[in-house]
Structure 1
Amino acid sequence: MLVLNRKVGQSIMIGNDIEIVITSVEGDQVKIGFQAPNSVNILRKEIYDTVEQSNKEAVTAKFNLDNLRKREK
């Protein structure tokens, strides 16, 4: 993991087209802005984890449904 110190107004570049800007720091909260192409998904980690889990459950459910259909034949 790369750890950087940044001040308000400073930014970090990821590749050539993703910029992360520190917009404010208030107590223990840091507000961050993102500039990225529309094709790049930006999600909070907890939302990303929820989507991943839902996708895994959907695949498992489909697989189990397919198995049930095969047994019926």
Structure 2
Amino acid sequence: MGLCLRSNNFNGHIAHNICDLQSLQNLDLAHNKISGVIPPCFRNLTAMATKTKINSELISWPILGHSLILEHYW
């Protein structure tokens, strides 16, 4: 399951209840004004992939322990 929230003018932090989406494989938050930290509960989203794209550079998140795809520009 993928969730595309690209270009919605969201601002603030990523809500922790997004972690209730246990089947989430792809989360696209590009072109928003997201701030703060990635919620620790993302470690439990085992279906996600292990890359993050920030400003067109791929960055891995080994500290999460599981995979994660977040496209966001802070």
TM over 0.5: no
TM-score (norm 1): 0.27
- More helix, by proportion: 1
TM-score (norm 2): 0.26
Identify which of structures 1 and 2 has the higher relative contact order when contacts are C-alpha pairs closer than 8 Å and 6+ apart: 2
